[in-house]
Chain A
């Protein structure tokens, strides 16, 4: 713990790190630019959204006779509770996020284990495996939509027919599964990188010692590796969830919405600039979503140990 007594007092010149850090403002100063920027750019729209959510703001094109925007209080919020389509969108969001995160963590871990040892062409395979994560989400969605899933142009259809099966309309009949497929395809490499980091940060002397003691590879994996990987799994799941819950591009490109593929972001989009142009109502939905997310995230962070742990630095 830094106390003033530990440090020899020197004349404080500009930029000198000595005594000054006992002053709380010197500690805060480096944080301020980032903090101010984020507050300005994210909180202002958020506040404006709260304001809109209390009105019946609509696009001017939505009424033939000009309708003045008026304050409607919590009317928009009340309507949300009676909205079965919003509930459906939330359920779709939950399913989409859980499936995509769990599957990509699973495959990511699997691939990381495969890649953790040297073999001929290890670098090449690792390079190939991370590529889907580097693609534009719209490109990934287009590739799967046109080249893989399409009954007209897609290769999967040809393969199915070749093997004697009848065609499957992947996207039309299985919208959620199609979108989850693309999400998993793109995010598995990300998880794989995290898990590789985890696997490679294992202290190898402990592993060797265990081996010398007569443990099987499976035993080592279960007793030593998995616990070590737990924090990496949690990090991957957390980061992945934050991004996957906002998934938008794939839905826009592949299905254009509809039951089974409209998640909450897409639902809010459809309510606002995606066709509904009901900005007041859409803002109310968005605020509800933010509240939900904060609750869930607070719970999640409390459950996940060690992610914000920092004993020595209080």
Chain B
């Protein structure tokens, strides 16, 4: 926040107007190239299957593929079912992650437990076991407890996937809260709840938002657990997208439409929150 508002517009020391314009153009070129695959997919989603397979545009553009993939036959995975499942799983798991991570971060940052470094390492180390390895024991127990094909098993697993990152990030945001403010609030005898509310959260808020967004992104896009544990039951969006890959016949335009639909919520969320993410990260993911 230090001089941030002025940063973009001032000429850097020694930079000429021409250099600025050249860099601007370079940024545009880079941006266009980088987004090209997505843009191309978007275009394909409006074509007919014939045009899509041949990369031509003889039959014009249409929304028909979108309605094709949104229709479903009774008994097969529908867009609304997959969307609902994804939404519930992502929201519930992210909320629980934040509810668990906030106090944990408090215990690692504000009044750290002894050995907090080891605790942090433990959390990160849980990400070292490839999830493909733990899938069989998890499957066995999920089967025993009748959790296969439920949202519950995915919620539990997504919490386990995101919690380490959330704790890490939240801890570094909490560490940014100036020591003096903490001490001052404690001398005043504020309750823990108020201390959180008036001192810690306002400073860490962008970081909290950034963390929550990352959890949402990873949970929404998760594919492996979803497809291995949730066939038959509470299938999620990645599964719905893959279902549009047909082994026989042309499917490229439909797949493109399905991809756009599936990715749209998180993309829009990311677009809306990007500034907050940068601010959150700049405030101190680094301590």
Contact = CB atoms under 8 A, between A and B. Distances in A.
A119 B38 CA distance: 23
A173 interface: no
B125 interface: yes
Nearest to A150: B252
A56 interface: no
Contact of A142 (B32, B107, B255, B266): B255
Contacts of A215: 13
A31 interface: yes
A198 B133 CA distance: 36
B259 A139 contact: yes
A286 to B, nearest CB: 3
B149 interface: no
A160 interface: no
B270 A125 contact: no
Interface residues of A, number: 123
A15 interface: yes
B186 A18 contact: yes
B100 A37 contact: yes
B125 A30 contact: no
Interface of B: 2-4, 6-9, 12-15, 20-21, 23-24, 26-28, 30-32, 34-35, 37-38, 40-41, 44, 52-53, 55, 100-101, 103-104, 106-109, 111-114, 117, 119-141, 156-157, 159-160, 163-165, 167, 175, 179, 183, 185-187, 189-193, 195, 217, 220-221, 223-224, 228, 237-238, 241-242, 245, 252, 255-256, 259, 262-263, 266-267, 269-271, 274, 277-283, 285-287
A163 to B, nearest CB: 15
SS class of chain A's interface: helix, strand, loop or mixed? helix
Contacts of A138: 223, 238, 241-242
Interface stretch (A74-82, A94-102, A287-295): A287-295
A137 B167 contact: no
Nearest to B2: A203
A38 B164 contact: yes
Contacts of B223: 136-138, 249
B270 A15 contact: no
Interface of A: 2, 6-8, 10, 13, 15-18, 21, 24, 27-31, 33-35, 37-38, 41-42, 44-46, 48-49, 52, 111, 114-122, 124-139, 142-144, 146-148, 152-153, 155, 158, 185, 188, 193-194, 196-198, 200-201, 203-205, 207-208, 210-212, 215-217, 220, 231-232, 235, 239, 242, 246, 248-249, 264-266, 268-269, 272-274, 279, 282-283, 285-286, 289-290, 293-294, 297-298, 301, 306-310, 312-314
B160 A37 contact: yes
Nearest to B165: A239
Given A30-B106, A313-B112, A155 B55 contact: yes
Contacts of A208: 13
A30 B104 contact: yes
Given A31-B113, A136-B263, A37 B193 contact: no
B218 to A, nearest CB: 9
Q: Looking at A124, A134, A153, A308, which has the most chain B CB atoms within 10 Å of its CB?
A: A134
Nearest to B258: A139
A162 to B, nearest CB: 11
Contacts of A313: 109, 112, 175
B242 A200 contact: no
B164 to A, nearest CB: 7
Given A30-B104, A114-B23, A248-B224, A45 B130 contact: no
A120 B27 CA distance: 10
Q: Looking at B114, B121, B271, B278, which has the most chain A CB atoms within 10 Å of its CB?
A: B278
A118 B274 CA distance: 16
Contacts of B157: 41
Contacts of A272: 132-133, 135-136
A76 to B, nearest CB: 13
Contacts of B156: 41
Contact of B183 (A6, A197, A283): A6
A200 B53 contact: no
Contacts of A111: 27, 30
A308 B120 contact: yes
Given A134-B270, A136-B263, A294-B125, A143 B38 contact: yes
A208 B282 CA distance: 20
A27 B107 contact: yes
Q: Looking at A13, A24, A115, A312, which has the most chain B CB atoms within 10 Å of its CB?
A: A115
26 contacts: A7-B187, A17-B189, A27-B111, A30-B106, A41-B156, A42-B126, A42-B134, A116-B8, A119-B24, A128-B31, A128-B34, A135-B263, A139-B238, A139-B262, A185-B37, A196-B282, A198-B286, A200-B282, A203-B2, A208-B13, A232-B286, A242-B127, A248-B224, A249-B224, A268-B133, A272-B136
